[in-house]
Structure 1
């Protein structure tokens, strides 16, 4: 009987002890992205070599970013950069900032739009963009995401191409 009483007492006290135990502090996350004007930052620092785009055929080792191509954003903000030109429209829209892949470094979940005006190219890609130091480019990592919406989630390349007629 005495053993049963001790077991019941231990069962009653255990949850209180667990609740009162110190909780582990959240793992610190390093960030190499600015808090403000993230769109402008991506225009100057996103490595286009890390993603498939219509700029790929014109890209050289010296042409890595939108700024390297001489492109000036028509719209920038804390969560977007867009280039609305005569023939092409490009946009990076940040959907979420977090350590998405749990490597201790802040990532950006982004929807990248690459659209030809008056042609049949209209592509949106969900990207996970990361940056490993203040001296490196921001790069797209291979990671399943639905930043552009659920329509892109089940495709092999995580890209959606729509024929425009």
Structure 2
């Protein structure tokens, strides 16, 4: 049975959104995931990159107006999706993976008013900021001044 949900992580920078995506890739293996934006799914060869993958999405979604969500709705609804590899015949498949997208702001979706759209989406707010690597401080009493620099 296909997953009928998509995950959206929305929040400021340094809140771990990309790390969650990397973790998902590690869980399923890099060969079983693909990085695509929502609008890329609607392009001619966009769905072929999803074929056979368990995780699809982007850890840094492009902020742009997305006019159509036909493929997104099909993949989260368990409907057949048409795909085509360059130079090969088209085929249909049912996507059985998980879609997840992260961005600082929710994308502008022209179809946002469609009631069924929000029923297939889980939106999480990332609010905790993590220090950058060069901002991590040494709190141990045994650290020397050199360690703290």
TM-score by length of 2: 0.24
- Larger relative contact order (CA 8 Å, sep ≥ 6): 2
TM-score by length of 1: 0.22
**Whose helix proportion is higher, 1 or 2?**
2
- Return the index of the structure with the highest Cα Rg: 1
